Structure 1
Amino acid sequence: MLRLTACLLLGLVLSTGSRAQSNIILTNGEWPPYLGEMLPYNGTASRIISEAFASQGMQVRWDFHAWDRAFELAQQGLRDGTAVWSSTPEREHDFYISAPVLRSGHFFYSLRERAFDWQQMDDLEGLQVGLTRSYNYGKALQKAARQGLISTRTANNDLTNLRRLLRGQIDIFPINPVVADSLLQTHFTPEERERLVQHPKPIRQYTLHLLLSRKVLGNQRTLERFNNGLEQLWRDGRMQRYLQDFERPDGLQAIPPSANR
């Protein structure tokens, strides 16, 4: 009888553990068309992450917040992880970092009539640069701001910065062109869109990743399952299909499986 009871209890524990491992709560923010609470599938990047986990028998629940709060909840282990972010040594201290989900980059946008050009940071001297809170624009731009070469004005989202740019409240704004295209098409008139121009030189190009909190027990194994799922999406062609609507000549998309290892 005792043996039967022990087996039943063990089965209950294993069953409960299996259910817990099949669900994951990730934080997210607004970054259309890749991420967005009101977008189909919560955005393309969210869809990729959800389906990579689904291929491994796990279900994602998305929890949308402002970007700084989304990061903080995952960092503290109050959520399992957060998407999507660039990899930095500081973040590696708090998170397990996945294989690349997307390739991204920032390019300066300016008013067409201001004839803006740049090749090095010194060319930005005296300009006011719009930045979005919690974004990582790279060490060169951070250094220019710290040394007083440029002045910066921070907004809570990219949409606010595009509006400030059109009003002449900032001189230039670094943004991912795919995101810029989405916001401009959704929120601005053709006349307003025509007033803005993208500079061809990137400030920075980088990869974006899922971050899983080191404070959540079992997340190292969860990361392995996610990376396996991501490779599965490449093998069966879903990755290419999900991204084809956003193809651009600057190559700001995803990393093929050979680069994920």
Structure 2
Amino acid sequence: MFLSCVTFPPPPSIFMTAMSVVSVVSMANGGYSETVGKHMQYSKFWKVNSQKSAAKQAKVSSRNGMLMLYTPAFFAGLSSFWLFPDDGFRFLLLKSALTFHFFKRIFEVLFIHKYSGAMTLDSAIVITLSYFISTSTMIYNQHLSQGLPEPSIDLKYFGMIVFLLGIIGNFYHHFLLSKMRKDGEKQYKIPKGGLFDKVVCPHYLFEILVFWGFAFISQTLYAFSFALGTSFYLMGRSFATRNWYLTKFENFPKDVKAVFPYLL
């Protein structure tokens, strides 16, 4: 079976098996919710149908909220170097990739992103826990895989290539987004440059590559499950974003796809 050739045998842990299932189901459900208009309350388009309810909820600034999202996961990755210092080269690659990913996100929050609103505190807490738990679980699952037979097809170096492609492409398109507005501007514009002429959310496309990079480096069932769930979720957000642009801008080009150039 192909799956057994590319993944470690599942560790004897009911918790890890359950988390693998939960990650796919919960993230896929989140992606479906985005496509039908039930948005997480931290994006530009959730406000359309939620202004009254949002007014009653505690909020944090977008900048502080995004720092809150990524910092615990970053420290989870950083602490893994101390908690699991000698678990092999594959584990070192995974720890490094996860830690660098969230370091990059914190760097973007502090120095790249432009902000125009706030996010609700309860949504910030949910997303923060999701990032922290998924990162910690991926690291712990890799630790449990030590001593198990290696997959017959080694994908860790391919995973590093996919991860680097994703992290560079994601950063580049976040940079392009940040240059759309001058200081003090808050109005939304149609993004230009890079792959924005082909897909509405190329930063999500490259983020999907980042998580598949984690999966190929790790080659554990949980990492693949979380990458699949993340793909479903970000595809849902991409479809929701495209619909938002179509309703917001009459001149939005209809041939721009949601996620994959020329396809979807």
Q: TM-score, normalised by structure 2?
A: 0.28
Structure (1/2) with the larger helix percentage: 2
Which structure has the larger Rg over C-alpha atoms?
A: 1
